[in-house]
Each structure stands twice: as C-alpha cells, then as structure tokens.
Amino acid sequence: MSKQRKKLMIIDGNALVHRSFHALPPTMILQDGRPVNAVYGFTSVLIKALREFRPEYIVLTFDMKGPTFRHIKYTEYKAHREKAPDELYAQIPMVKEVVRAFNIPIFELSGFEADDLIGTISKKIDGDVDKIIVTGDMDTLQLVNEHTRVYTMSRGMSESILYGPDEVVNKYSLTPTQIIDYKALRGDPSDNIPGVRGIGEKTATELLTNFQTLDGVYQNIDSDKIKERIRGLLIENKANAYVSKDLATIKCDVDIDFDLQKAVFKEFNKDDIINIFDRFEFRSLLSRAKALFDENIGVSKEDVAEISDDKFKRNKEQFDYILVDDEKTFADFFKNFSVVDGFTFDTETTGIDTMSARLLGISISFKEAQAYYLNFDKQESGTTRVEKSEENNLFNYQKKKEALTKNKGNELHPWLAKLAPIFKNEKIKKNGHNVKFDLKVLESQGLEIKGIDFDTMLASYILKPGGRQFNLDAVTYSELGFEKISKTDLLGKGRDKVDFAEVETEKLYLYSCEDADFTHRLQSVLRAQLAKENFLKLFNEIELPLTVVLAKMENTGIKLDVKFLEKMGEEVLASICELEKNIFKLCGKTFNIKSTQQLGIVLFEDLKISIEGIKKNKKGHSTAFDELEKIKDAHAVIPLIQEYRELTKLQSTYIDALPKLVNKKTKRIHTSFNQTIAATGRLSSTDPNLQNIPVRTEIGKKIRQAFIASDSSVLLAFDYSQIELRLAAHMSGDETMIKAFNDGVDIHVVTASLINGVKIDEVTSQMRREAKAVNFGILYGQGAHGLSQGADISYTQAKSFIENYFKIYSGVKSYLDKTIEDAKQNGFVETLYGRKRYLPDLNSNIPMMKKSAERMAVNTPIQGTAADMIKIAMIKIHNEVLSDDIKMLLQVHDELVFEVKKGAEKTAVAKIKKIMENVIKLQVEMRVDVKVGQNWGEMKTFL
C-alpha cells in the first residue's frame, strides 16, 4: 500500500460492535445501569485506527433491521444464529453518537448487509485511493487487493492485524478471491451457509490449491486428484455449493450515493467528543482522545501551525499565571498571599519518591484564573535545569547542602520560612488534589501543614466510587469540560521524553499554575455535589482527616530485615529447584512450567489427565488456579505445580522485591496507602502491596517475619475480631447471633452446633471449619456452589447448610433479602456512615451480572462499614495517642500495626484498644485482639 496515496478508512460498524460486546466484560456499565462495553470497545478501536492510519477519508457502514436479498434467495440464511442480547442493540445508538461526534458519515441500506456497502464503496473508488477496511469479520478478506487492506482485531480487542494479499495467503494458503470459493465448499456454520456437506477446511483448501476456483473443481470433477468419496460429495451437493458461493459473495454494485469528497475526514469538535466521553464515563479513553487531538488528526494542514503549543499559549494569554523566581516577584506575591483565608496548592518535584525527590516549585491559587508558581529551582535564561550555571544562582547554597531546598537541621529556604506560618495556621484552609503527596513533599522540606480543607481526588472518588480515573486531568474534563496540559504535553513521549527537572521553566510554571487553578475551581463544584448527595460528613470526618494520618504513616515506614530475606530467598530457590526436578520426573520430560501452553500440553496430552469440566481458551485447556483445583487429586504432579507457582510468585513479588524498596535514606520500607481504589472504602497499598501477603501459609508468615521493630522497640498488632460477623449481627438484628456474641461464645462453634444439630461440646474441628466457611460465605453472597468449593464439601451438603443457616439466623436472611430489594429500588447500597456504592446491574437481564451485583449488595454495607470503622479509629489514635514512643505503621485488612518503645506497651495497648472497641455503639461488643513481638510474623498474645 503506497504511503504517498491518500487513504479511505471504511468501518464495519456491526462487526466491531458485536466483537466489542463479546470481547469486553458486561460489567462495564454507567451509573444509570446502561451497559457500554460495546461502545467502549468500538471507540477504542476507532481511536487506535485513526492514530495508526491517519486517513484523509472515512465512512462507517451499518446493517439495518429486516431480511436481506440473501434471506430471499435462501430462507435458511443465518436461521440458526442466536439473536444478540438487548444489551447489545441498546448500544448501537450510542455508537452512532460517537461516530457523529467525529464527523464520520454513516451508510446503511435496507435489504443489504454492511459488507455489501463496504464492497460497493471499495469498488467505486478502486485504484483512486488506498482503502483500509476496519472490521471484526473475516468475510471482507475477499475484497483485499493491491490497494485494499483489512484491519481486524485478534485476541479479544488487544491486538490487531493488517491483511494484504500476502498476509491472506500466509494465513489461509488461499488468495483473497479464493475465499469466496472456499466458503462455497466449506460452508459457514455461523451464517448457516451449507457448502458441500462432508468437506472440511483441509479438503476445501486442497481442492482450491489444485483447481483454483469452484468452477475449476467441477470442470475437473473426474481428476485423479479428487478422492472418490469427495467426488461423490461434490456431485451430490453441487447446487448447494453454487448457492453457497452466491451467499458468500459480497455485492459490489449496490445502488448507493457515495461521493468521496463527502467522506473527507474534517476537523471534529473536541468539546462534543469530550462531552460524550463524559456522559459515557470513558475516563480511561480521555487521554487517548487527547493524544488524537494533539496529533492533529482530522485537522486541516492550514490549522496545524496554529494548534502547535496551543495549550501553553492559551494559559499564558487567557489566565493570570505568574512566575515567581526572584525576590521582587516573591515580595509582590507574598503581599497578596499573606492576607488570604484559604488557598489551593500543588508541588512539582523531580520524582514520585517524596523522600528523595527534589522540590522544583510550588503553585498556589486563591482566585479563579489566577495562580503563582514559586520556582525553587531557578534556571538561567536559555538553559535547562540540568545545564544551568552554578554561578550567580540565588539557590546555590542549597545544592552545597546535598539537596536543593532540603531541610538541614532547622534551616529552611528563606521563601519556605516565610510560607511556614501560613501553612501551619489551621485557620487558613488549604485545598489540593491528592493532597497526601504534597503533604509528604512539604514535610520533607521541614514544613508542618495544618488546615487541610479539601481534596478534589477524594471528593470525586466518594461521588463515583465505581469510577476508574480520579487523576486531575480526568476530573477536570468530567466536571469542567476543560482540556488540561497533560504530562505528555509537558514531558513528550518516546525517545523525546524528558524528566520534570529538564522541562523549561516557561512550560513548567504554566503547567503547575493550571493544576493549582483548576483544582481551586473544582473544589467549589465538588463540594456542592458532596452536599447534594449528603456526603459531607463522610468526607470531612473520615476520608479527608485520614489523608493526614496516612501521610504520617507512609513517612514513618517500617524496618525490614534484608539479611533475613536474603537467607530466605536462598532457601526458597532451593525448594523451587527441587520442585522442578520432581515435576520433570513425574511428567517424564523437561519444559517451561511457567508457560501455560506447555503445561497444558504436558497435563492434558502427555499425562492424559481428563479435561472434563476444564475451561478452554485459544491456547488450549486452561491451567489457571481454579482449573487445577478441579484436578488436584487426578495426578501427583498437580499439588507440586500449585506449590511451585506459589513459591515463584512470592519469591518475585516479595522475597526478591522487598529489599529493593528499602529507602536508602531512612533504611525503611515506605508503602503507599490508596484511598480511591476499592469501591467498598477499604484501603489498599502499593510498593509493596501488603494486603496480598498470605497469612494462612507458612511461607507467608515467614515473609512477615522480615518486617521488624527498630532497636529498643516492639511491634504491637491490633486486630478486630470477626468484625464483619459482629456488624452483620448488629445490622440484621438477629437475636441468635447477637446473643452468641454477647455471651462470648465462639460464633463458628455455635453455628456448627446449630446447623449440624449437635451439642456445643460435640462440635468437631471439621464442623467448625465448615461452619466458618458458611458464616463468611453468607456475608459474601455465596451460593451452594461457591460454598461447596470453599468448604471442600459436596454441593448437596452446602445447600443443606445454607438452608439450615437461614432457619437458625432468620434475622440475617431477612436483612439480606431486604438489602437486595432496597438496592434494586434505590440503585445503591449504603454503609452505616453513609458511604454509597451504586449497583445498577441488580436490574440487569444478564444473570451473571445480576448475581454479581447481588453479592456486592450483600457484602458492601458490612465490609464498607468495617472499613469506615477502622478509618475512624486510625484518626482518633493519630489525634489522641501517637507520640515519639508510639507510631502507627501499617493498616492491613482489619489490623493496625504499631511500633512502640519498650516500656510504653501497656499505655499504648490500653489507649488504642479502648478507641478501637468503642468507635461505634453496637448491639454486640467489638473485640480487638492484641499481639506483640519483635517482628510481624512471630507475635504472641499481649498479656
């Protein structure tokens, strides 16, 4: 395909919509419950294709309802095809909205399929321009020629292939024109095209290789190259073969009014696209759409020069953004700043590690469309920061103190010293976006920050807890419809990408001022939305103050025994090597155990383990964890493979990785706690992810031993006992469960006794284990199938347990039923503290989606309330207990870990336990178990 020739892109709308709908999860839904997986997939492919091919012309084709000429010729055409779900058809008008926003003309004609329109358009301009057919349907391969290519998705929606004549031959051993005759012989079950009954893919290909065409096959029907059986089939089904050829042939002479000039890809309206992406909640596509805008696709050449650097130019011309980089401009700024009662701030640094990153500047805004950028990394005119002269630099003295603007003893940069009283003044309200990061940065400079009043990232999360994007660019798009300067705009990409430290001050200050300005604008908009939805209490009393707590915890970090992990790594590696030997011995060959494809061949072909009930994917039968669990008793090698996987995962994720995360300055691990990930309100952590360290396996416990107390200190762990079951008792009001807890009896033993019909002292450990699975399974909305797997019992027994459970705890049953029913009516569930989770799938017509939503409806109020409780406890402990002797380090699930100076343990336990057990007054008592030890893995009950 010539690079000089202009290109026409022809999009097969129906094919892409169907492919997207089936490739992407049905759980992609809007807040109002409408599914958008097909729209999202279509839009994603559209953007990708536009960026890849940069077409001068573009059109889209769609099928129309009703029969086509093929149905008239052959009444059984597509007769067996199952009607697509209503959820798919409902998305087609939404797809058309996206298409119209891009100014793409749509062609559809009653009586014909989209393929026929594609063929006709392609034929009409054959030789004039190059054509790219974007589709998910391989039927269009028959249109491929020197100037026509087919661009199709493979492996779901993640990869794409461009077919030209050579690619078709390489893939099918047939030329594009032979594809029609291939379908005439082979047939097409998906379209109910009969073909020649008894002839498969291999035979059809061999016949066309030998005789070129269908006509050639029948002209040589007596050839020795045709086997007798095949000859008989061909003769018997000749009529079907030619009918099939007619059905498979794409018409290229449909009477449509197509004018190439009307298909010119004109400049599209960015605002229309942004508004549609906002309505369809495509936040993750916003950045890709922005890249499309930035690359000027669909913009005339005359406008390209004007668009270049337009965002920086726009900010300089339209807004009052001021660079503060000398004493005079600082004095002017400070005169205005010193009298404000509130402001928004943002920091720019050389990296995301707040412990080691250098402060480049602070942007401050206290008036819409106005912001100041305090440049702490002054550069000489015409240079970048990495090139700048060390002479005549106002800030050089700091470099000589090892790090620019770093606090050395009590010495602050003079500007920071002036800002310090204002940042410390609790009465002056401060706002930010992801303010935890900025708190940590400024704390590392020696500043104490008080009076944090708003965080736009947390506010957007509370308003849309099921959302996927809470970065400032996405929220600004969503709420204000404004396209900010992106990091790609600022830093570039690929080989041209630079670090923040290398960006010209002119661009950096405009970028940073924009951040502060639009965060300042957002806070009033989001504050009003929080008030409207009754979220202000949740925001002001839990999420916002927790940010300060987490910043302190992250900066404190926890000590790691690196030598312990190194020794453990050697032991684990030896175990892995031994497992490899045993696996190879049992399998009778060596292979890559980590390769799912190779493992599948060994298990299901070499060892001939039964594949009954095992899921199949494109590479063969699955060897995923759940599938291996089904056959764990089928062969001695399965448990070894499971153990091998666990060890190799823990080795790479923790044993090898943790030492690399130790901060060189503090010699401690500083995990990051995330408030905006889980829709239930639970915290998560990254670098490292502490939530995923297994606690029930010996190796998991051993990894925890590497987290240690510093000298002259101990670790104290406070763990809520059965918090979710206690909350279930309170929220359901179930008298039997409440009595069991208030009597101080083991709830799992009580449940085992009641569902098995035995006395308390007759309950065995096995009964208790099964009852525990039932207790927690019910709270997670498990059915009999899930419980049978979780408790390792039969389906019949699991079903009986659940039935007995609901008879015994009838209050729990009533509560769960009412929760689901109320959620269907309201569209959301709620925690005791007013946190909401929207669940529109409760009214879905898709059983899988509906069941999943029901499980979330049951679990979220309980799990979310537990998350809120521990957050409140953390805030109270931070405000009332913490000191130099008592430091809060970690929050993992229902557990808080502290580092306490020896001698202060009793004081710490008394105060912390009291706070945690009295966060909320319930019908049952909350209980906290306390353990103590020198490391997190070996702890004993605190007495």
| Residue 404 scores a pLDDT above 90 | no
Tell me what pLDDT residue 868 has.
97
Please report the DSSP string for 206-239 in residue order. HHHHHHSSHHHHHHTTT-TTS-HHHHHHHHHTHH
Rounded Cα–Cα distance for residues 429 and 452 (Å): 6
Q: Which of 629-633, 758-762, 784-788, 924-928 has the lowest mean pLDDT?
A: 784-788
Reported as a pLDDT band with limits 50, 70 and 90, residue 388 is: very low
Average pLDDT over residues 603-625: 85
With 80 as the cut, is the pLDDT of residue 769 above it? yes
Give the DSSP H or E segment for 151: strand 148-154
φ and ψ at 884, to 5 degrees? -65, -25
Q: Which of 857, 793, 846, 855 is nearest to 824 (CA)?
A: 857
pLDDT tens digit sequence for 277-297: 878 878 667 767 766 766 655
635, 665 Cβ separation under 8 angstroms: no
| pLDDT computed for residue 655 by the predictor | 95
Residue 642, pLDDT > 70, answer: yes
Highest mean pLDDT among 63-67, 173-177, 323-327, 825-829: 323-327
327-355 pLDDT, tens per residue?
999 999 999 999 999 999 999 999 988 88
- pLDDT, average across residues 39-64: 90
Cα–Cα nearest to 46, from 63, 59, 30:
59
Please give the average per-residue pLDDT across 186-199, as a whole number: 84
Give me the pLDDT at residue 588, please: 94
- In sequence order, the β-bridge partners of residue 264 are 57
- So what's the pLDDT on residue 487? 87
Residue 864: enclosing H or E segment and its boundaries? helix 847-880
- 3-state SS assignment for residue 732: helix
Output DSSP code: residue 842. G
CA atoms within 13 A on the CB side of 562: 10
Range 495-530 burial, b when 16+ CB lie within 10 A, else e: eeeeebbebbbebbbbbbbbbbbbbbbbbeebbeeb
Contacts of 122 (CB under 8 A, 6+ apart): 10, 131, 133, 143, 148, 252
**What does the DSSP assignment read for 640-688?**
HHHHHHHHHHHIIIIITTGGGGB-TTT-EE--EEESSS-TTS--EEESS
Cα 145 → chain centroid: 40
Ranges 5-9, 20-24, 552-556, 735-739: which has the least confidence: 20-24
Query: Across residues 680-693, what is the average pLDDT?
Result: 90
Tokens of 414: 């003079």
Q: What is the pLDDT of residues 553-608, one digit of tens each?
A: 999 999 999 999 999 999 999 999 999 999 999 999 999 999 998 999 999 999 99
Across the strands, what pairs with 133? 10, 150
Please compute the mean of the pLDDT values over residues 209-230 and round it to a whole number: 91
Strands 106-107 and 57-61: parallel
For 304-324, what is the mean pLDDT? 78
Long-range contacts of 327-336 (CB under 8 A, 24+ apart): 327/394, 330/374, 330/415, 333/364, 333/372, 333/374, 334/418, 336/366
d(CA 679, CA 13): 34
Give the three-class secondary structure for 782.
coil
Cα 68 from chain centroid (whole Å): 41
- Model confidence at 272: pLDDT above 60: yes
**Given a cut of 70, is residue 138 above it in pLDDT?**
yes
Of the ranges 249-263, 506-520, 851-865, the best mean pLDDT one: 506-520
Helices (H) then strands (E): counts for the chain: 40, 26
User: What is the per-residue burial (b if ≥16 Cβ within 10 Å, else e) of 681-707?
Assistant: bbbbbeebbbeebeeeeebbbbbbbbb
Q: How far apart are CA 300 and CA 391, in angstroms?
A: 47
pLDDT score, position 391: 37
pLDDT of the residue at 380: 43
Beta strands in 468-608 (DSSP E): 558-560
Give the per-residue pLDDT at 52.
86
pLDDT of 710? 95
What residues contact 731, with CB distance under 8 A and at least 6 apart?
815, 832, 861, 862, 865
Place of tokens 């104290």: 716
**The length of the chain, given as a count of residues:** 943
Q: What are the tens digits of pLDDT across the range 824-858? A: 888 899 999 999 998 877 877 667 778 888 989 99
Tell me how far apart the 2 most distant CA atoms of the chain are, in Å.
Answer: 101
Listed in sequence order, the residues at least 6 apart from 531 whose beta carbon sits closer than 8 Å to its beta carbon are none
Q: Is the dihedral of CA 381, 493, 268, 120 positive or negative?
A: positive
pLDDT (tens digit, 9 = 90+) per residue, 714-729? Answer: 999 999 999 999 999 9
- The whole-number pLDDT of residue 863 equals 94
Residue 800 burial (C-beta neighbours within 10 Å; 0-12, 13-18, 19+): middle
Contact 541, 874 (CB under 8 A): no
Query: What is the arithmetic mean of pLDDT over 176-198?
Result: 87
pLDDT tops 90 at residue 870: yes
Structural tokens at position 623:
């060897």
Q: What percent of the chain has pLDDT over 70?
A: 91
* Angle, CA 922 vertex, CA 916 and CA 924 arms, to 5°: 95
Residue 468 has pLDDT above 80, yes or no: no
- What pLDDT was estimated at residue 848? 74
| Average pLDDT of the chain to the nearest whole number | 87
